[in-house]
A and B are shown apart, each in its own frame.
Chain A
Amino acid sequence: MTTKSMVARPGRRPTPASLASWLLLLPCVVIFALFIVWPLGKSVSLSLHGSDLFGRPDAFVGLQHYRDMLGSSEFRHILWVTFAFVLLTVIPGVLGGLAIVLLLEQHIKGIRIFRTAFALPFAFSVASASVIFATIYNPAIGLANGILGKFGVDRIGWLTDPSWALVSVAITTVWMSIGYNVLVLSAGIGAIPTEINEAATLDGAGGWRAARYITVPMLGPQLFFLVVISTIQSLQGFGQIKILTPEGGPEQSTKTLVYSIYHTAFANNASDFGAASAQAIVLLVILLACTAIQFGVLERRVHYK
């Protein structure tokens, strides 16, 4: 490459520089086209077709899958479970993270040890975290019942009782996410100008008053970011559900939308890729809406600064 090509201006004809930059972008473009853009269209097309025994599309059925889905009580149940799972993970996760960060802000000694402690769950993949919690929830020898038993609490069917299964999966998910929430909120606090807190201290607002009236409002953008990101991640949760409750839970109590996509396409030789793709499109629309809300609100917020 010559020096000349580096200062070449973009023109109508492809210059050597523009050719070279296309070459650099090619690996990304090929992978994105092949495994993101094309499948996106293919997902839509699959959702409009029936499926043969191997999941390959056959007859065009139009919006039939969508009509079946919206009319079925099972699908309403799936959406409800998905929604409940989001609530059970996002609210405790974000509020728990906030509580920990505010406590850490009260001029605590050994703050680094605490931060490392809260970061440890990062080391656990979804699979390893789920497997540990499966052992802890074990009805016979699990620690959850063992410890509660010492306080005289009756054994709980963590993963076998329909009213507990989703909660148990949610606890695992919150455990996995708390470190990230602490990290983001700590970084947010670090970005708050120190003069603000100094002024508050001079005015006699120390400790919890400062936290209540200064830190929490100033953390608004980070809290909002965490709510959206956790919602998106929670909607995509799969490993913990599949590992802790392989059959989608007792009485389908943990059958979320993503689990259902997997189940419809792969369980018991169902191979119903058409119906599963219709669910995948619903998931896509929900997640895009979440992302749009995030961008919309965050962008608008910038003007307030």
Chain B
Amino acid sequence: MRQLTVGRVVTYAVLIVAALAVIFPVYYVIAGSVMSPGQISSYPPDLFPHGLFTGNYEGASSSGTPIGRQYLNSILQTSIITVAQLVTSVLAAYAFVFMKMWGRTVLFGLFLGTLMVPWESIVLPNYLTITGWSIGGERLTASYAGTMLALVLPFLANAFGVFLLRQSFLQFPTELRDAATIDGCGHWRFMRRILIPLNKPALMAVGLYVFLAAWNQFFWPLLIGDSASRRTLQIGISQLNDAEAADPGLILAGVTLSILPTLAIVIFGQRFIVRGLTAGAIR
């Protein structure tokens, strides 16, 4: 056991203060969400809730902003994007690793190149394109399904997923591949029965990374969802904040609800997201 020197005490003290500063907003959002309106607006502020006040949650679900509906919108939007990107990435990464084709390297380079284009610099033409599309004379975003389609369409594929899965597939033992080929295992069967099950950690990493990124979206959903019931949760909670006479307890209840899925991912899926998040940082 190490001795508790002055230096170590200082180290612990600084770390604890830093950790508390980082956790504080997390604590505040949860504690504040169960404070009564009187308590949360008291000055000087009160840091500990007196009992459990549930009125904010009831308020958040029955306020002018249909939080429940927006929650569903976000879950749906995020799930579609995640599943679609996993599928498109697996297919593309498979082609890049296991199939011979003309211009493979050049095409992979072009794929990677798409990662360098920031969404903010192409968001305007995409907005014009998608809002300009119509189905049977009706504007694409005029219906609920159309709005959902507009929300997810540009994000059904992403070169980052292709890149990560390609890295993972490249490490796949060639002997296994050859054995499967000799046993008459075709591409499709090999992919579904052998490659995908054996690359689950990489797929989880991509899936969780895509989920977090899609759940986090703000700019595009802000432009596309043009009525309250078609907006995503992120836009919904930001509008709780904009509302005149904003009720802090209600806002914090809305935010608490909005972080539940991602909080679960961060706490339970840490080892997977670390792999997705730090890809590129570690050589």
Contact = CB atoms under 8 A, between A and B. Distances in A.
A277 interface: yes
A120 B266 contact: yes
Contacts of B171: none
Interface stretch (A60-68, A86-94, A123-131, A161-169): A123-131
B161 to A, nearest CB: 9
A6 B47 CA distance: 65
Interface stretch (A69-77, A197-205, A280-288): A280-288
Interface residues of A, number: 112
B245 interface: no
Interface in A17-34: 17-18, 20-22, 24-25, 27-28, 30-32, 34
Nearest to A277: B124
Interface in B244-283: 248, 251-252, 254-255, 258-259, 262-263, 265-267, 270, 273-274, 277-278, 280-283
Contacts of B280: 225
Contact of A124 (B188, B262, B278): B262
Contact residues of B: prevailing secondary structure? helix
A175 B159 contact: no
Nearest to A246: B242
Interface string A231-261: 0100110110011001000000000001001
Interface string B103-142: 0100100110010111111111111110000000000000
Interface string B80-94: 000000011101101
B187 A180 contact: no
Contact of A106 (B11, B45, B237): B11
A194 interface: no
Given A127-B234, A281-B121, A32 B278 contact: no
Contacts of B119: 236
A188 B282 contact: yes
A272 B92 CA distance: 38
A108 B15 contact: yes
A143 to B, nearest CB: 5
Nearest to B257: A128
The prevalent SS among residues of A at the interface is: helix
A207 interface: yes
B92 A25 contact: yes
B194 to A, nearest CB: 14
A305 B243 CA distance: 56
Contacts of A38: 125
A123 B15 contact: no
Given A28-B92, A43-B125, A122 B188 contact: no
B129 A39 contact: yes
A14 B100 CA distance: 11
B279 to A, nearest CB: 11
Looking at chain B, what size class is its interface with the partner chain? 35 or more
A191 interface: yes
B278 A183 contact: yes
Given A1-B188, A106-B11, A120-B22, A43 B121 contact: yes
A40 B117 contact: yes
Interface stretch (B51-59, B149-157, B195-203): B149-157
Given A131-B251, A133-B25, A141-B248, A123 B265 contact: yes
Contacts of A24: 91-92, 94-95, 99
A20 B99 contact: yes
Contact of A135 (B32, B47, B126): B32
Interface of B: 2, 7-8, 11-12, 14-15, 18-19, 22-23, 25-26, 28-29, 32, 40-45, 47, 87-89, 91-92, 94-96, 98-102, 104, 107, 110-111, 114, 116-129, 153-154, 156-157, 159, 162, 181, 184, 186-188, 212, 215-216, 218-219, 222-223, 234-235, 237-238, 240-242, 248, 251-252, 254-255, 258-259, 262-263, 265-267, 270, 273-274, 277-278, 280-283
19 contacts: A1-B187, A6-B181, A6-B187, A17-B100, A18-B102, A28-B89, A103-B14, A103-B15, A107-B2, A121-B26, A122-B262, A123-B26, A135-B252, A143-B45, A183-B278, A225-B280, A232-B118, A246-B242, A277-B124
Given A118-B19, A146-B44, A261-B123, 5 more contacts: A24-B92, A28-B89, A96-B18, A141-B40, A226-B281
Interface of A: 1-3, 6-10, 14, 17-18, 20-22, 24-25, 27-28, 30-32, 34-40, 42-43, 46, 55-56, 96, 99-100, 103-104, 106-108, 114, 116-136, 138, 140-143, 146-147, 149-150, 175, 178-180, 183-184, 187-188, 191, 207, 221-222, 225-226, 229, 232, 235-236, 238-239, 242-243, 246, 258, 261-262, 265-266, 273, 276-277, 280-281, 283-284, 287-288, 291, 298, 302
